[in-house]
Structure 1
Amino acid sequence: MKKLSFLFFLFASAANAQQLAPLSVQKIMRDPKWMGTSPDEYRWSADSKTVFFNWNPENKDKSQPYKLNVASQKVDKAEKEEAEKSASINYVYNKDKSLGLLEKGGDIYLTNLKSKKETRLTNTLERESNARFLYNNEIVFQRADNVYQLNFSTGELTQLTNFVKGKSDAASPASRPAGRAIAQGTSQQDLWLKNDQTALFDIIKKRNAEGGNRTMGRGRGFGMVNDNVKPRVIKPIHLEDDFMAGLTVSPDGKYVSYRLIKQAAGNKNTIVPNYVTASGYTEDINGRTKVGESLSTSTTYVFDVAKDSVYAVNVSQIAGIKDLPDYVKDYPKQLEERTKKNEDRKVNLNVVNWNENGSFAVVSGRAQDNKDFWILKLDPTTGKLTLIDRQRDEAWVGGPGVSRDVKWIDNQRFYFQSEATGYSHLYTYNVNTGEKKQLTSGKWEVQQAQLSKDKSTFYISGNKEHPGITHFYKLSVNGGDLVQITSMKGGNEVTLSPDEKWLAINHSYMDKPWELYIQANKPGAKAVKITKSTSAEFDSYQWRQPDLVSFKNRYGDDVYARVYPSKNPHPNKPAVVFVHGAGYLQNVHYWWSQYFREYMFNNLLADNGYTVIDIDYTASSGYGRNHRTGIYRHMGGKDLTDQVDGVKMLVEKYGVNPKNVGLYGGSYGGFITLMGLFNESDTFRAGAALRSVTDWAHYNHGYTANILNEPFNDPNAYKKSSPIYFADKLKGDLVMLHGMVDVNVHFQDIVRLSQRFIELGKDNWELAVYPVEDHGFVEPSSWTDEYKRIFKLFENTLKK
């Protein structure tokens, strides 16, 4: 390790002899390799003696495989084949873990884990997958859409199911339960968008009056037959046009469960034009649908092998299946219509989850309106569902680990996570006694949980010490004291060795990117730093450790922030607010930010006399349910006023001039920037909005419908939350920056807002476009151009 580090330092010193200071946009927006490349993709050898990882200490074109000898703590280069051969294998074990199953190259292999002898069980052109042991040690696996059972002691292979793609010539209820009707014609969402577009733009009204809106053209083997043996017949189950998923066999081999997914019909996909292409022609990128379009639906079935019969699991049995969300009370006509219809809400059930001996089956499900998550007992003989746990949230069910499938501890207990207390915590449930037990508690979140091999201990990652610090803990499956194992302040991402004796820790701090540490899996054990990845040039600058502070917002809630004070403030005492993206994301913490470019830019701003604040506003992750859902039905509400309240704190505690405050951010941060300039113009004098959502009715369903429901069901939420409806309030100076091939927040978003500005006669805005960039910029030249414009905006408005 010492030799490798010495060579690396020689290389770094020779290649990066210059000092980084003073910072400039051109310097910090180069290809990030100038900073040095952190290690990643940690994986352990099966014997727990070696950690393999990818790293690039020599600044090559791409990272190479390396290995750490845990005993000697020596790092060497590794061959790719060596890493693959030595890596821990994720076998599917039998009950005493003497045998293991593995899929390789589409075939199934059996390994005797004592003798290490490997036997190939299948050798076919078709792919075999999802192999597992039954409780009697026989094997089941999937080939195409069907399930086969193998007795490897006798060699007998039995086909259990006969799923057939397509429709039967004489479809009958016995072969396939009746399908659902496919909606035809124009959807409610299409009508809503059309009417909204006409209401927003004068040009649409004009062209409609002239005769319609103008559009642009785009551009088997051989053998003897024994007639005395009757062939086994399995009734065919026709899948029609549906897709199969979640095929599972009960541990006793008696039942096969599966889901059939019916694709939504009649939806329109968006088109993203790509202008800079190798062909010289504009090429269309087929994009996503918009929020409010129809969703795929699924139905869960159980096939009884002995009876050769199948039935659908009836979700009408689920407690609360007809409950309407509270928001419909704001729409009396809708409430009346939906109450009268009294329809079941659409539910997607997860894979049927069996305990080890097959005596108990659990299935979880989520309502498509995002308000409910259920854990249910399934009786496979009747299809009856019995409620075990219901998580209802009038905003939307979420939080770390919540709405994931349950995992079994033993034949009696499984574990899951719930936000029932307002924070995501760990619970167990005993299927024999019906006891639900909460194992963790407090105003902190269980972010990850895994069970030890002997199933006696949980290993937990959580932010118990502080919202911005993660640690690794252990806890008995029966509950008790939570024991902290890691001790380094900052971020600790742990990869546990197969023998559970060692931790490979990916650790970072505010001003120090991620590095590999190794530690014994014992409380109080010392973590040893293994890698040193940053370049001499990066290390030549004294990067700030921002003040990590909290303040009370106007609603009395604690809001956390990073503040970058300027050592030499400009006479105007200007300030800049950086708004992180993604909404549900945490950026105020003690580890290295994923917004590393913005972190460096904030250092540059502070060097140039600005005080900078970065806020984990309402809806950021890491702070529990109320913070997570605080923007329900009003994005640009509490998340925006938190920025304003943060500025007030800067004025009171850091001496900032309230007349010279700007803000910038990308994606969700760009959205907040627009809302800030439109609706809080007394606070924000200038702003830079990058890849911004300007109208939530044009974003995707999975993200938006959680927060704002659907445009045609809850239009008020969209009108309150979309910047395009407030464009007339723009007062300060605005620069917008957007990639033209953005397949996430489409370029159309910024074009529509630009047209609004034109129709409103606004002249205090600019738009910079980036023809080759998607949502996440890639080219250093684009990053540089973008941030030079942002810096120029603040220099010209906040200092003059």
Structure 2
Amino acid sequence: MKRKLLFLPLLCIALLQAQAQSTLSVEHIMRDPIWMGTFPSSASWSDDSQTIYFRYNRDKDPTDSLYKLGLSEKGAISKVSWEEMKANERSEEDFNADKSLRVYQVDKKLMLEDMSSLTSSLLIQWPENFNDPKFMANEMEISFTSKSNIYVLNRSTKIVRKVTNISTETKPKDKSKNEDEKVDWLESENLELLGVVKERKEKSKMRRDYRDAYSDSEKEEFTYYTEGKSPVNLQLSPDGNYATFTIYTTSSNKNSIVPDYADASGYTVDLNARSKVGTTPTITEIGIYDLQRDTVYFISSSELPGIKDLPDYVTDYPDKTWEEKERDVAFSSPYFSPNGKKAIINIRSNDNKDRWIASVDLGTGKLTTLDRQRDEAWISGPGIGYSFSGGTMGWLPDSEHIYFQSEESGYSHLYLLNVATGEKKAITSGNYEVFDPFISKDKKSWYLTTSEVNPGERHFYKMPLMGGKMQKLTSMTGNNEVSLSPDEKKLAIIYSYSNKPAELFLQENKVGAKAEQLTAGQSEEFKAYNWRDPQIVRFTAEDGAQVPARIYTPDPAKKNGAAVVFVHGAGYLQNVHKWWSSYFREYMFHNLLTDLGYTVLDIDYRGSAGYGRDWRTGIYRHMGGKDLSDQVDGVKYLVASHGVDPDRVGLYGGSYGGFITLMALFNASNTFKSGAALRSVTDWAHYNHGYTANILNTPEEDPIAYRRSSPIYFAEGLKGNLLMAHGMVDVNVHFQDVVRLSQRFIELGKDNWEMAIYPVEDHGFVEPSSWTDEYKRILKLFNATLLEE
């Protein structure tokens, strides 16, 4: 008999759970995470490579603090004092070519540090705030920026010279073009009648003309006026001949308002939040200041190949006339070669379809395209950068080759390109991705992290600068987040595994070296439970794709035939892996569900990170398409391979996972009997521009994509049992989303839904009481709707 009630009384639920129990409970696992222990993060090194610093919370402070561990005192972890942190503060730092010297600023002082002795000396005390100190190519001069201008200090003479003259004021009118003062009728008549007054006026004009003629005989100092706009990202070429700067022009987009009903004041307070998709993007202009010729000119994108190309989706709108015009672009700051003679720049089209890398003729601002990546979905991927950022990009020491990452092959890899010949080569390749490459201290090698072993593992490698065989330096299965010591002899590794939270390890920088564990943060209470190591599987999707997933299988004696599918958030995120998940609360909840006899499946559906370009863009113009069908195919896999009852499957997730949950209950109601949609997007036209316009373009230009991707248009399809949970001060996915959907349900006469609201919570919940309440409701939903009477 089909159940008509959404929830059963607590007594009935207890009877249903009688056949399977767990030592875990929602109240237990959703407490303040401090109960689990303390786990390190953000490892770094002292300059002498003898001390490891990391974030930790051994002393149960309100938040993580900085701790240290000396290599000569292994195991002796101590908290870093405020005085020590201040003494070692090195903000706005830069090294010379061989890293023997470091320049940095602190408290308006420009300091020079000898890295062999680790002693610092004062170069200058500057009267104003300044930033971005940089060694020039000759290394005897150091540039820095202050009050929208660039200055250069000579280390030998201690003389500082101002090399740019930029003013944010409006440019004065040209004196040579000033017209004689106009006089009205009364003044003209007065000058005719009063001779002395007329004579004084004429003498005054003669004196002014004389002074102007004298001052004009001397060359006026060149000043570039920005007409009220503030130049940012000022930088000087290493040879001192050119400066570049960026001017941003922001549009007056309308921002949203999020009311805070639980403000401490007792009044309802409006929180300013983001604008919505379709807003006018910020315009960037890159100026070049020629210091030899005292002139400023700007880079133009008009000659970029394909700058007028229309996207493929225009064919879906045959009745609309599309204007062929230059697309707006976003520029990164230029990258100067080490010798300062050349520069490159990264350029992104605002419609997200193109990324150009171009060389810049510093004398004219003319661009020559070196590489163009076109993607009819959108440009992205590890190391690719976004908007105003170039991502992984720069020059090799020879000032002839540049490096960058590209998804040209379908996976994000590292490339070299000779700017003179245009020759390009991939120095990594294969069905894996590259993360965070950097050049060694001796400039002969790369260090990089990749997923070459497995999409669910991360390892650290070394490779010759111009490409060659990679040496795998880490060996622990899981995630190896490496910080290389300054002397490049040791690795500090934040390591975790599927069922083991992060710990700090130390390893020699050698192939085959064994990593030594330095911390052991798990509490006795956490270690008392045998946390599962979920199996990674792949099942076949309807289009033949092999979909990765993690599966939690119950003890056969406890198996109840029901299943829960978890949908991770963010869309572009990976959760099928062999390291400790950022979804650690959900991971513990899945252990609880499995104890109770549920089979749990956690899918890296289409759109997830870690599997290359085609997987990343599988949701283009249709969110709730392949990403939803992957969930449905996952259920088919559970039914066929794990004996799950097809009539007893639920799903849940937050943010993007909440969105998929709604789409599943509206459009795949024969597959899912119930679902919990947490902080879910209900209408993509109400989400932000930076994320949504990549995937769905804009609602004005591509309404088809928004109509088929937004749950609110499919609310009439709700058949199963739905729980919605949302924080009222969510400034990411606004509470307005579920309010509007609730009104749709009311108008449609739906009564098989329920909503839980959390007045003090933003998008990511903070309070343990909120986590506990939310997950008690989720468990109650699944127990009431998926377990047999």
Q: Give the TM-score, by structure 1 length.
A: 0.87
Question: 2-side partners of 1:486 and 1:422: how far apart?
Answer: 26
Residue 545 of structure 1 aligns with an amino acid whose one-letter code is D
Q: 2:94: which partner in 1? A: 92
2:340 is the alignment partner of 1:337: no
Q: Cα deviations across residues 528-578 of structure 1 (Å, max 9, x unaligned)?
A: 111111111111111111111111211111211011111146675100001
**Matched residues in 2 for 1:574 and 1:66: separation?**
46
Residue of structure 1 in register with 2:104 after alignment: 102
In structure 1, stretches of 5+ residues that fail to align are 1-19, 175-226
Q: Which residue in 1 is equivalent to 2:203?
A: none
Q: Residue in 2 aligned with 1:4?
A: none
CA–CA distance in structure 2, aligned partners of residues 98 and 524 of structure 1: 30
Give me the whole-angstrom Cα distance separating, in 1, the residues matched to 2:620 and 2:444.
Answer: 39
2:716 equivalent to 1:725: no
Q: Spell out the pairing of 1:141-160 with structure 2 (5 A cutoff).
A: 141-160=144-163
The residue aligned with 1:293 is 279
Post-superposition Cα deviations, 1:178-198, rounded to whole Å, max 9, x if no partner, equal xxxxxxxxxxxxxxxxxxxxx
The residue type paired with residue 327 of structure 2 is R
Partner letter of residue 712 of structure 1? E
- Secondary structure, aligned partner of 2:750: coil
Matches of 2:636 and 2:377, distance apart in 1: 29
1:50 CA drift (Å): 1.1
Distance 1:664 1:124 in 2: 57
Query: Which residue in the other structure is 2:455 paired with?
Result: 467
Q: Residue 140 of structure 1 aligns with which residue?
A: 143
Conservation of the 8 A alpha-carbon contact between 1:43 and 1:88: no
For residues 448-503 of structure 1, the C-alpha deviation after alignment (integer angstroms, 9 at most, x for no partner) is: 21110111111111111111011111111121111111000011100110011101
Q: What pairs with 1:603-682 in structure 2 (closer than 5 Å)?
A: 603-682=591-670
Paired residue for 1:16? none
Q: Does the 8 Å CA contact 2:145/2:151 hold for their aligned counterparts?
A: yes
For 1:538, the equivalent position in structure 2 comes to: 526
Code of the aligned partner of 2:222:
K
Deviation, structure 1 residue 273:
0.1
What is the root-mean-square deviation in Å for CA atoms of aligned residues? 2.1
Q: By how many angstroms is 1:243 displaced? A: 3.3
Equivalent residue in structure 2 for 1:318, among 295, 301, 304: 304
Q: Deviations over 1:606-650 (max 9, x none)?
A: 111110000000010000000000000000000000001111111
Offset of 1:680 from its aligned partner?
0.3
Shift of 1:94: 3.2
State TM-score, norm by structure 2.
0.89
Cα 1:793–1:115 change in 2 (3 A) is: closer
Instruction: Decide whether aligned partners of structure 1 residues 558 and 575 sit closer, same or farther in structure 2, where only a CA change above 3 A counts.
Output: same
Q: Distance in 2 between matches of 1:112 and 1:600?
A: 49
Alignment counterpart, residue 345 of structure 2, candidates 332, 348, 363: 363
Distance 1:749 1:422, change over 3 A: same
Amino acid at match of 1:42: A
How many angstroms apart in 2 are the aligned matches of 1:401 and 1:394?
19
Counting only pairs closer than 5 Å after superposition, residues 243-282 of structure 1 correspond to structure 2 as: 243-265=230-252, 267-282=253-268
1:579-598 → structure 2 map (5 Å cutoff): 579-598=567-586
Name 1:75's counterpart in structure 2: 76
Of residues 290, 293, 316, the one that matches 1:304 is 290
- Alpha-carbon distance, 1:105 to partner: 1.9
The residue type equivalent to 1:131 in the other structure is: P
- Once the two structures are TM-superposed, the CA of residue 61 in structure 1 deviates from its matched residue by 3.6
From the superposition, tell whether residues 115 and 568 of structure 1 become closer, same or farther in structure 2 (CA, over 3 Å): closer
One-letter identity of the residue aligned with 2:230: F
Matched residue, 1:452:
440
Alignment partner of 1:46 is 2:47: yes
| Superposed structure 1 runs of 4+ greater than 6 Å apart | 87-90
Aligned to 1:788: 776
**Match of residue 14 from structure 1:** none
In the aligned structure 2, how far is the partner of 1:97 from the partner of 1:673? 52
Contact 2:22/2:596 (<8 A) preserved: no
Alpha-carbon distance in 1 for matches of 2:746, 2:688: 26
Which residue is 2:332 aligned to? 350
- In the TM superposition, 1:737-748 aligns within 5 A as 737-748=725-736
Selected match of 1:381 from 335, 338, 363 = 363
Residue 154 of structure 1, CA deviation: 2.8
One-letter amino acid matched to 2:506: I
Cα 1:60–1:309, aligned 2, differ >3 Å: closer, same or farther? Answer: closer
Question: 2: CA distance between counterparts of 1:74 and 1:231?
Answer: 71
1: CA distance between counterparts of 2:750 and 2:174?
Answer: 63
Amino acid at match of 1:598: E
Select the residue among 505, 509, 523 that pairs with 1:517.
505
Aligned counterpart, 1:200: none
| Cα distance in structure 1, aligned partners of 2:543 and 2:161 | 65
The CA distance in 2 between the partners of 1:274 and 1:250, in whole Å, is 48
Query: How far has the Cα of 1:87 moved from its partner?
Result: 7.6
Shift of 1:73: 2.5
Equivalent in the alignment of 1:55: 56
Deviation per CA, 1:415-472, whole angstroms, max 9, x where unpaired?
Answer: 1111111001111112233221111111000122111011111111111111101111
| Residues 685-714 of structure 1, C-alpha deviations (whole Å, 9 max, x = no match) | 000000000000000000000000000000
Matches within 5 A, 1:742-761: 742-761=730-749
Q: Structure 2 unaligned runs (5+)?
A: 1-20, 178-213, 386-390
Is the 1:108–1:128 Cα contact (8 Å) retained in structure 2? no
Shift of 1:722: 0.3
1:787–1:98 distance in 2 versus 1, CA, 3 Å: closer
Larger Rg: 2
Q: Aligned ranges for residues 545-564 of structure 1 at < 5 Å?
A: 545-564=533-552
Structure 1 residue 33 corresponds to structure 2 residue 30: no
* Cα 1:666/1:683, change in 2 over 3 Å: same
Give the direction of change, closer, same or farther, for the CA distance of 1:150–1:575 in structure 2 (3 Å limit). same
- Could you report, residue by residue, the CA deviation over 1:315-344 in whole angstroms, capped at 9, with x for unpaired residues? 10111111111111211344x331xxx321
**Which amino acid is the alignment partner of residue 404 of structure 2?**
F
Which residue identity does 2:773 align to in structure 1?
Answer: D
Residue identity opposite 1:38 in structure 2: F
Q: Give the deviation of 1:167 after TM superposition.
A: 2.4
C-alpha distance in structure 1 between counterparts of 2:634 and 2:119, whole Å: 64
Structure 1 residues 168 and 476: alpha-carbon distance in aligned structure 2, compared to 1, 3 A threshold: same
Moved more, 325-334 or 692-701: 325-334
Aligned residue type for 2:71: V
Question: Which residue is equivalent to 2:199?
Answer: none
CA distance in 1, matches of 2:85, 2:75: 16
What is the distance in 2 between the residues matched to 1:630 and 1:374?
23
Which of 166, 176, 182 is the matching residue for 1:163?
166
Does structure 2 retain, via aligned residues, the 8 Å contact 1:272–1:741? yes
Cα deviations by residue, 1:57-82 (Å, 9 ceiling, x for unpaired): 34344444432222452323143233
1:396 corresponds to which residue?
378
User: 1:569, 1:611 within 8 Å by CA — same for their partners in 2?
Assistant: no
Pair 1:37–1:76, CA change in 2 (3 A): closer
Tell me, what secondary structure is at the counterpart of 2:275? coil
Matched, 1:237 2:193: no
Letter in 2 for 1:785: D
- Cα contact 2:254–2:275 (8 A) shared by 1: yes
Deviation at 1:90, TM superposition (A): 7.6
Aligned residues of 2:413 and 2:434 also touching (Cα < 8 A): yes
Conserved? CA contact 1:46–1:86, under 8 Å: no
Distance change (3 Å), C-alpha of 1:171 and 1:659? farther
Moved more, 49-58 or 386-395: 49-58
2:122 and 2:274 mapped to 1: Cα distance?
42
- TM-fit CA distance, 1:83: 5.1
1:9 aligned partner: none
Q: Could you tell me whether the CA contact under 8 Å between 1:36 and 1:59 is conserved in 2?
A: no
Matched AA of 1:305: L
SS at match of 1:633: coil
